[in-house]
Chains A and B, each alone.
Chain A
Amino acid sequence: MPSRLFSRPRGAPVRAVGALLLFAVAALAACTEDFDSSEACPLLCPPQSVQLRDTLVEGVVFDTALSGFPGLGAANALYLGQSGDSLDTRVIIRFDQLPTRFISGGVDSAITRVDTATLSLRLAFPLLASATPLEVEAYDVDTTATDTLPQTLLPLFRPDRLIGSTFLTPASAPDSTFRMFLDTGFVRRVIADSARLRIGLRLREGTSGQVYFLSVESGVDPILSLRVSPDTTVAPLTVATLSTTPEGPSFPATQLRDYIVIARQTATAPPSALALGGLGGSRSMLRFDLPAHIVDSSTVVRATLDLTQFPYRGFGSGDTLSVFAHLTLGTQTVTDLRRMFTLLSAPAGDTLRIVAADSGQRSMELAGLIAAWRNAGTEGQVRAIILRVPTEGLLPAEVRFFSREAPEALRPRLRLIYVPRTTIGQP
């Protein structure tokens, strides 16, 4: 191998190559571009004016309220309450199939006795706030009639159907579980007849109070516990809720494993109101017809829905409720109004926190909804929002707003601040 290949190069070429490499590295470094020169602003960034338009429109062309949400038996909690003449709710729990046999020591035996029958329900938040005992009564409410209707069920809460009664206090439920002993003779007859056990709970008439139980939908089922043997080594039988009616696909029977029935609620909203929440589960829809040149051709920076609240005077009027706005995802092809109320987007815009008994103007920011309408285009989608409170069907308190049938000053209005389409970027 020629030795010159290993000879040390002269200094000048080495330096030249080094300089070239340095130059190349510096040049390549510029490939990582950084254009941001914010620190030079505002002196070298002269402001340009953009025209904002502030418009108040009565853009609501249709509004209505519907109740019955989230649906019979679909709430996460069961509200049992009573307050004089103004409020009375009942809780229905179905055990449509009770065991008829049990196994002890490997021996399968028929159930011929019931020593104890205990109904257990987990208390929901808020837990009992008062130390005053609540007397809870249990009734046999099984019937062959259409038993989701109040007029069918309520007459069944009578003394000859009373199957249990107990006092509920904070001390009696240290583990947040309410337990009630049921009439064992009655339960044994139900087992012997292979009949259904449907229990109706109410607070004793003339008392006042409220309590929440977790429902099946919350994931914590009411439980019926049966001790069917005098042998204490035999574990009690645990019975889960079951509903076998209604049959057919029209309504899911499983949803009726537990539900509430409103026996009395005097503070109902007037038909012209936009009501939200309550035990009846009201939601309100506002459908808009906004100028296309604003929604579709401009950028809406702010959209404020002004609503005028009027007070709810019923039970729980001091409660504070959160009001959410949802886009309805229903299209023009959806003709069932109730379905429009259930096809909802995630909550959009801001959240109002309102005391039910208050009154006055309330404002919701809906700019995000307007942007969503713009992105969805004009084809198909119904430009409507659904107002709801997350405690619908759980709390007696309602939020009430004036509808577009009210005097002009009280109607819903939309204030839009928008930037008309303009040419940006012209030097």
Chain B
Amino acid sequence: MRLQLRHAAYVAAAVAVLIPLRGYAQGSLAVQGVGYPPGQFSTRTGSTGGALAEIDPLSPINPAALGNLGTTTIYFQAEPEYRRVEVGGLTTKTSQSRFPVMSGGFTMGSRWAAGLSFSTIADRTWQNAVESIEVIGGEAAHAIDTTRSRGAINDTRFALAYAPISWLQVGVGFHAFSGQNQVRLKRVFVDPDDPTALDPRFAVFADSNVISYGGNAISAGIEARAQGLGSLAISYRAGGRISAESGAGDSVIGRANLPDRLGISLAYLGIARSAIAVRAARESWSELNGIGQQGFRARDTWDYSVGGDIAGPRFGPRVLMLRVGARWRDLPFAVVGPDGLPGPTVRETSIAGGIGTLLANGRTALDLGVIRASRTADLAADVSERSWFLSIGLTVRP
């Protein structure tokens, strides 16, 4: 029996090797970087391709548009997405529910309006399982990596709008950005001959983390109307600092600025109860670059849209609003190549349509929209990605 104790001695120095682990895989063109930006559009605006965003009081884009609220309003929206990705002849389908906008607002007298809204800036939800052969310790191992991410960065905005004169509205918004990404990673090693059996040589590697985001921004906007003709609306959001923390908030892993956004729209209001608009927006996503790991590169984006919200057929006292629109935009995050560098820009083209009507003697409004989005990127392989969004917006005016 040998009772002498001594500390463990290193026989050989630790040797570091790098093995690929698809831990941060996304599996689609849309969900790269910090996630997919739905756009912060209400169902009504989304059904016009986003063209009405600058004048829609339910879309938390232009705080001056709150002046169009008219009365106390509570709004809720659901917008599931059905995505289909084809890569080299292989197809994968996903479905995901989102609740991208919730808001409430009220008027104070004839000139003031205020509102509080919650909307999704970037949704980072995905899951993958990838098989690979790795060489570990000089031996081949059959690995299955399962990775998933849940969560989003959200925008909580408090806004005030004021109409100093009958044809002009101005507004200001205060934004708090927060959210989490719950990331989980698991690697199991399986018997190459029987993938249902674990390889006894290796243990399961599992890890999880919660990335928390916190930041702020301020926005301002105006809307000028020519009675019976149209309107010009401009909004600007100045992003403040945003930080990303790992784990239980005990370590800051990245700091950056929230992207600034400048939007402008021109709307024709010459048809009763109708609006036809064009909109352009520029968003400086590259200001987020400090928040990611090395190789994280966001790109500034342009977002163009055109669409209309037209008074359609009348059913008794109800007018059915008919909406149609189109949108062209760049997505801020590209697919990262094997070299760790971002690839070509992902472009998204959408066509949209929808209807809306008042219910319950005008106390409730129901909006339904359908959006078909196609995304492309100039990648080496043949990649095709298409999504259907079904958007349901419910407005209550108590």
Contacts and interface: CB of A to CB of B under 8 A. Distances in A.
Contact of B383 (A43, A53, A370): A43
A7 interface: no
B8 A58 contact: yes
A170 interface: no
Contact of B26 (A45, A303, A304, A368): A45
Interface string A292-336: 000000011111100000000000000000000000000000000
B11 interface: yes
Contact of A35 (B13, B17, B94, B368): B94
Interface string A12-30: 1100100010011011011
Nearest to A337: B1
A272 B4 CA distance: 13
A233 interface: no
Contacts of B11: 56-58, 413
A205 interface: no
Given A302-B201, A350-B201, A426-B253, A52 B207 contact: no
A412 to B, nearest CB: 11
Contacts of A45: 22, 25-27, 128, 130
Nearest to A408: B11
Interface stretch (B47-55, B257-265, B330-338): B330-338
B21 A47 contact: yes
Contacts of B210: 425
A425 to B, nearest CB: 3
Contacts of A51: 16-18
A426 B203 contact: no
Interface SS of B by simple majority: strand
Interface residues of A, number: 75
Interface in A54-83: 54-59, 61-64
A192 interface: no
Contacts of B76: none
B87 interface: yes
B2 A62 contact: yes
Given A44-B26, A54-B137, A64-B1, A423 B209 contact: yes
A371 B205 CA distance: 10
Contacts of B130: 38, 41-42, 45
Given A32-B95, A53-B16, A419 B381 contact: no
B166 interface: no
A23 B389 CA distance: 11
Contacts of B244: 426-427
Contacts of B26: 37, 44-45
By size class, the interface of chain B is 35 or more
Given A35-B126, A44-B383, A300 B8 contact: no
Nearest to B200: A350
A299 B95 CA distance: 33
A30 B80 contact: yes
Interface in B349-398: 368, 379, 381, 383, 390, 392
Contact of B96 (A16, A24, A33, A427): A33
Contact of B15 (A32, A35, A55): A55
Nearest to A363: B201
B58 interface: no
Interface stretch (B113-121, B170-178, B226-234, B291-299): B291-299
Contacts of B336: 46
A61 B88 contact: no
A50 B6 contact: no
A52 B18 contact: yes
27 contacts: A23-B390, A34-B94, A35-B94, A36-B127, A37-B85, A37-B94, A38-B129, A40-B28, A41-B128, A44-B383, A45-B25, A45-B128, A46-B24, A46-B25, A47-B25, A48-B20, A50-B21, A51-B18, A299-B203, A301-B203, A405-B2, A424-B24, A425-B24, A425-B181, A427-B35, A427-B244, A427-B296
